[in-house]
């Protein structure tokens, strides 16, 4: 997981007041949040990817492209990628902290 997302998850756990959990439980909570957050970001990226670029994106994933190549492709195809990711993070945060 990239550092900014790790920091984001750590902050969510702190805001949810879960820092007192047993270390193993806290580790599992972080892993679960990380997986859920990555799933949400991936879904948002796919939703905003132009339909005619889905095939090229699938080929890129099938060739085991590096994270940098995938990010470059997404930035080229989704001009407002930063805003898409930011709004996804805000939605995730609101949902998580309401529960």
pLDDT tens-digit series, residues 27-67: 999 999 999 999 999 999 999 999 999 999 999 999 989 98
Task: With a cut of 70, say whether residue 1 has pLDDT above it.
Answer: no
Domain that includes residue 90, residue range: 3-98
At residue 99, the pLDDT reads: 66
pTM (two decimals): 0.86
Q: Count of domains in the chain?
A: 1
> In terms of C-beta density within 10 A (0-12 exposed, 13-18 middle, 19 or more buried), how is residue 36 classed?
middle
At residue 3, the pLDDT reads: 86
At residue 2, the pLDDT reads: 76
């Amino acid at each position: 997981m990239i550092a900014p997302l790790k920091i984001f998850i750590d902050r969510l756990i702190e805001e949810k007041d879960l820092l007192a959990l047993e270390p193993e439980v806290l580790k599992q909570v972080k892993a679960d949040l990380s997986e859920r957050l990555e799933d949400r970001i991936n879904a948002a990226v796919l939703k905003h990817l132009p339909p005619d670029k889905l095939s090229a994106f699938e080929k890129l994933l099938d060739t085991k492209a590096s994270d940098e190549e995938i990010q470059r492709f997404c930035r080229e195809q989704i001009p407002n990628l930063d805003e898409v990711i930011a709004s996804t993070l805000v939605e995730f945060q609101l949902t998580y902290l309401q529960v």
